[in-house]
Amino acid sequence: MAGMLAVGSDCVGESAAAGASLNSAGSGTPWAYGLEAGLREGFDSNVFLQSETALADRTSWVTTLLGLVWGSWTSAPWKVRLGYQPETSFFHSEPSEDFVAHRCQLEGGYLKAGTKLDVGGTVTVIDGDSVGLVWSGPGGAPATGGPTVRDRRDSAVCRGNIRLTQDWGAWLVRPALTGYSHDFRTVQKTTPGYLNSVDRSEITVGTDVGRTVGNGLKAWLGYRYGQQDEAQLLDYPEEYDNRFHRILGGWEGRLAPWLKGSVALGPEFRRYGDRAPASMGDHDVVNVFVDGTLTWTPGTEDTVVLAARQFEQPGFAGRSAYEDMTLDLGWRHVVNSRWTVGAGGRAYGTSFLRPVVRHDWVFSVNGLVHYDFSKRYSTELSYAYEDGQTQDSGASAREYDRHWVALGLRAVFH
C-alpha cells in the first residue's frame, strides 16, 4: 500500500498518485475512474515516542482501513482529476490514538500552444482526540515535537497552488501562487507540560523567468513574496507572524538520460513582527531556502530518489519559530513483474530561533517487499525504525527509538 512507510512525516498520502496509473482514458471517453481498498495490520513499539516517562515504550497493534476513489475528465486542452482517500486507524492497546483521516485531492490543468496552467490542492481533515498529551519528562515533547502523535488529533490542513507557464521560444515566464493553512482543533490548557497547538498559515506569490539551456533542461531565476501567520496561544502576547522576500535560482529537467530532477535554492530575507519577543534578538533574519529532488535510474529495474528541503515557519505549539530540514533517500528495485523491493532513509531536523532552546533530529530507515498477485491484488510487508535525538542538555525525554512493522493488502478496481 503506497505511503505505508511515511512514519512520522507530514505527508498527506501517496496512494492517490498511484491511482493515476489506473486511468482508462484509452477507452475513447474523456471520463476515467478508479477505486482502491486496503487493509493494513501493523505493530508500533512506541506509540507515544517516549523513553522515560509514564508513556514510555507503550506498544500497540494497529489496524488500518484504507480506501481511494477518484475520477478524471480529459478533453484537450483541459484535464481535471478529483480523489478522495479515507483512512481509519484503530490502536488496540491505546484507543485514545484512534483516528479517521479524510484526504481530498484536486489536480487540474490546461496545455495548448506554449501555455500551461497547473492547479493543485489537498484538504486533509483528521477526526481524532481533541485533547493533547502532557509531556512530563525533561525537555518536554519528543524530538521535533512528535508530529506522528500530533497528526492523530483533530485538525484540518489545506494546501493549494496555481502555476502558469508561458513559453516564448527558448524562454519562459512562470507566475505562481501557493497557500497553506493548518487548523489545529485540540483544546488549549494551562496544565504544565500540556502540548498546546496553535493555527498557522502561509501564502506566497511570485514569478520565475527562465530559459532552455539544453535538451530537456531549463534554468531560471525567481522571486517570492510571502507571509506567515501564527495564532496567539492562550493569553501570551508572543506571535511569530512574519513577512519574507525569497530570491531563487534553479533548474529542472534531465541532466542525462539516467538523471533528472529539479532544484530551487536561494536566500530568504525575513522580518518578524513586533509581537515576536525582544529576547529573540534582531527581528530581521536571513536564512537559506532549499527545495530539490534528484531521480537516478541506473537501469530499467532501479530507481533512486534523493530529496532535500529546508525552510522556516512558525512553531505549531505557538510562541516560537524554527528551521525545518529534511533529507530523504529512497531506492526501489523491480525484481520481476510481481516482486518489488525497496529501502530508504530520512534525516529530519528542527532548529528553533531564540529564545527557545530546542534543536532536535529524527533519523529513520525503512524497507519493504511488495508482491503483485495480479493487476488487481497486491500485498506489501514494510518495516521502519526511528531514532529521536536532541542536541540540548537536560532534555533526555525527547530521545526515543521506535520500530514499526506492517503487512498490507490492496485491491484495485476500475
- Supply the DSSP string of 312-340, one letter for each residue: EEE-TTSS-EEEEEEEEEEEEEE-SSSEE
Spell out the domain ranges in the chain.
15-283+371-413
Contact yes or no for 367/342 (Cβ under 8 A): yes
What pLDDT score does 27 carry?
A: 57
Neighbour-count burial of 15, counting CB atoms closer than 10 A to its CB (0-12 exposed, 13-18 middle, 19+ buried): buried
Contact yes or no for 70/19 (Cβ under 8 A): yes
What pLDDT score does 225 carry?
A: 98
Q: Kindly give the parts of the chain with pLDDT less than 50.
A: 1-26
Nearest Cα residue to 253 out of 208, 212, 309:
212
Nearest Cα residue to 203 out of 170, 241, 235:
241
Calpha distance 144→398 (Å, rounded): 8
Calpha distance 151→10 (Å, rounded): 8
Calpha distance 399→101 (Å, rounded): 28
Calpha distance 126→124 (Å, rounded): 7
Nearest Cα residue to 262 out of 323, 327, 306:
306
What pLDDT score does 142 carry?
A: 98
Q: Which helix (H) or strand (E) holds 32?
A: strand 31-44
- Could you say which DSSP state residue 9 is in? -
Calpha distance 406→125 (Å, rounded): 24
Through-space distance between the first and last CA atoms of the chain, rounded to whole angstroms: 17
What pLDDT score does 414 carry?
A: 82
In the block, which residue shows the cell 502540548? 195
Contact yes or no for 104/111 (Cβ under 8 A): no
At 313-335, the pLDDT tens digits run 999 999 999 999 999 999 999 99
User: Which three cell numbers, joined as nine digits, stand for 196?
Assistant: 498546546
Nearest Cα residue to 345 out of 366, 362, 326, 360:
366
At 198-252, the pLDDT tens digits run 999 999 999 999 999 988 899 999 999 999 999 999 999 999 999 999 999 999 9
Q: Which residues, other chains included, contact 270 with Cβ-Cβ below 8 Å and sequence gap of 6+?
A: 242, 243, 244, 284, 285, 286, 287, 312
Calpha distance 182→367 (Å, rounded): 30
